Amino acid sequence: MGRTVLPYSAVLEAEYGRWKNFRRALRREDQQLLDDLFELARRHVQAGANSSMPIAFHPILMSMLLELLRLIRRLELKLAYLETLSHAPGD
């Protein structure tokens, strides 16, 4: 008997392939951004495999959002640190 369900990593790559016409129409720098978004989704392959969502793009999109939120939080911390340095007494 063969596999009845594709591995999530194959589903993710197939989804990436479905976006190739969209990607081709983007400017080069935006193509890289799209590639980066899918790279962010690849960081959560295990969670995507366990999600059992009927629409494959939903866990992919959620993975992208998680990584973007992580980046925002990291930048907020850096900004807060830099603001404390700029308001330090004696400056």
Q: pLDDT digit string (tens) for 27-51?
A: 999 999 999 999 999 999 999 999 9
Q: pTM for this one?
A: 0.84
Ranges of residues in the chain with a pLDDT under 70 are: 1, 3, 90-91
Please report the pLDDT score of residue 3 as a whole number: 65
* Residue 44 and residue 66 in contact, taking contact as beta carbons nearer than 8 Å: yes
**DSSP structure class, residue 1:** -
Please report the pLDDT score of residue 4 as a whole number: 79
How far is residue 56's CA from residue 48's CA, in Å, rounded to a whole number? 9
Q: Which amino acid is at 42?
A: R
